[in-house]
Amino acid sequence: MNVGIDIAAMATGHYALDLRFLAVARSVDPRKYTTGLGQDFMSVASPQEDVVTMGVEAGLRALEHVSDPTTIRLVLFATESSVDQSKSAGIYIHHFLGLNPSCRVVELKQACYSATAALHIATAFVRQNPAAQALIIASDIARYGLNTSGEPTQGCGAVALVVSANPRVLVVETTTGVYTRHIMDFWRPNGQDAACVNGRYSALAYLEALSKTWADFQCNGGGSVGQIDFMCYHTPFTKMAEKAFARHTEIARSIQRGGQYLPAFLPSAVLYGRRLGNCYTASLYISLLSLLENTAQDLAGARVGLFSYGSGCVAEFFTGVLAPGYQNVLFAEAHTAAIAQRALLTVSEYEAFYTQSRDPVCVPEVRYYTGPLCFLGVKDHQRHYRLTLCNTESCTQVRLVS
Ligand code: CAA
């Protein structure tokens, strides 16, 4: 039975910072960010956005193409920007999407990797229950701190993946290569809302994990690199994905003699990443969407290789085959509009957002642009949200990116 991604939708924060402005403010040559890291903008979440609001926006979009949402019997919420130590943020999502109570909901954590664990759990679930569907929400806000070397790689976003039998987007293949090793390249201790990171070490660890997962994929009977048409990589910043492709090509050339066919790594696979920044768990799947929604050629039947990396670290290499007509269930126009319509912040406005508490005291009104769900704040240790389909009139921030 073919099982995989039937629908894929994304959402991001409703504000953005142009990294050229950040570079000037930090007395850095802007080309370090735009060329050296390969990032143009970062999405910024306002104090009224969090992983739940972005997850609900992506989920509502995905549900537009689900004919019977009552068949969703498993919701997996993947994040490393969790809003509670006990309650799964997936339960808020399940509530605001109005899903069937006859459903399992759980949150998964392993840095940027957990959405990939969710995908493999979901495909196994659907193989056992072919009439059911699973919904994966991967949602994150990447924070490193003001004036740190990680700052220009911040970002935020969410993806919603509906997993079913006979999927309309990507048939997920069962052979995978995995790798786990205890390292301290990136972590976020309890009580801290910015990550601790050994940045340059983390980039080396990422490349090492790519080599190890590829070797494991081969040991498990995975195809040669010549059987893969296109690549998508976890994209903390787009230059990292380019380095991954260079490493992958080097490995392939060292084991295969002669001018064998190599997969393509298209600029379209990192177009969204260049504009959103790191979206942690969502980032690999945003790269897949970016490839599908920004490549004019029909890729149906093509095999895509996907490399997922979560610091700490766990990584996985796997493949999928694109379904015929996948274009019919994409949301390319809505995604392009969401990115283009983010309100552009000055550096001081971004810093003001950054320094506000991520758990503000609850207010009765919507003060900023958000998606259909607004996070009002915390009262008596409980998070309060308001569903509002359009809040632009009541916003205090009105400048839009042209
Ligand atoms: N013009 C053009 N390029 C320039 C330049 C200029 N004026 N100045 C510098 N550069 C280039 C550098 O040569 C370098 O390119 P190469 O790596 O190809 O040599 C690039 O810009 C970055 O410069 P630095 O290495 O000096 O940058 P840095 O040390 O200040 O910061 C970083 C880089 C360590 C990655 C930092 O951004 C960081 O810590 N980021 C967060 C961690 C991260 O994203 N790690 C990725 C792997 S871990 C992972 O994937 C999990 C996850 O999501 C976090």
pLDDT tens by residue, 24-34: 999 999 999 99
pLDDT at 400: 34
Q: Is 120 in the pocket of ligand 1 (CB under 6 A)?
A: no
The CA R_g of the chain, rounded to the nearest whole Å, is 20
pLDDT at 259: 57
Q: Which atom of ligand 1 is nearest to the CA of 36?
A: 21
pLDDT tens by residue, 111-141: 999 999 999 999 999 999 999 999 999 999 9
Q: Which atom of ligand 1 is nearest to the CA of 31?
A: 1
pLDDT-derived band at 226, boundaries 50, 70, 90: confident
- Backbone phi, then psi, for 376, in 5-degree steps? -85, -20
Whether the per-residue pLDDT at 221 is higher than 70: the answer is: yes
pLDDT at 389: 63
pLDDT at 173: 98
The DSSP bridge partners found for residue 232 are 306
Q: Is 154 in the pocket of ligand 1 (CB under 6 A)?
A: no
pLDDT tens by residue, 243-279: 999 999 998 877 765 556 789 999 999 999 999 999 9
- Backbone phi, then psi, for 221, in 5-degree steps? 95, 15
pLDDT at 394: 43
**What's the token pair of residue 340?**
């283009």
Q: Is 37 in the pocket of ligand 1 (CB under 6 A)?
A: yes
Q: What mean pLDDT comes out for the span 103-114?
A: 98
Q: What mean pLDDT comes out for the span 134-149?
A: 98
Compute, in angstroms, the gap from residue 199 CA to the centroid of ligand 1.
8
Grouping H, G, I as helix, E, B as strand and the rest as coil, residue 195 is coil
DSSP element (H, E) containing 347? helix 347-355
The tokens 């007509």 sit on which residue?
325
Q: b or e along 177-212 (b: 16 or more beta carbons within 10 Å of the residue's beta carbon)?
A: bbbeeebebbebeeeeebbebeeeebbebbbbbbbb
Whether the per-residue pLDDT at 16 is higher than 70: the answer is: yes
In this prediction the pTM is 0.96
pLDDT at 401: 33
Compute, in angstroms, the gap from residue 38 CA to the centroid of ligand 1.
9
Compute, in angstroms, the gap from residue 207 CA to the centroid of ligand 1.
14
Whether the per-residue pLDDT at 151 is higher than 90: the answer is: yes
Using most ligand atoms within 8 A of CB, pick from 33, 110, 202 the residue to mutate for ligand 1. 202
CATH class of the domain whose range is 3-387: alpha beta
Which residues are identified as catalytic? 80, 112, 234
CA–CA gap between residue 201 and residue 219 (Å, rounded): 27
Nearest CA to ligand 1 atom 3: 36
The mean predicted confidence, pLDDT, of the chain is: 94
pLDDT-derived band at 395, boundaries 50, 70, 90: very low
Whether the per-residue pLDDT at 281 is higher than 50: the answer is: yes
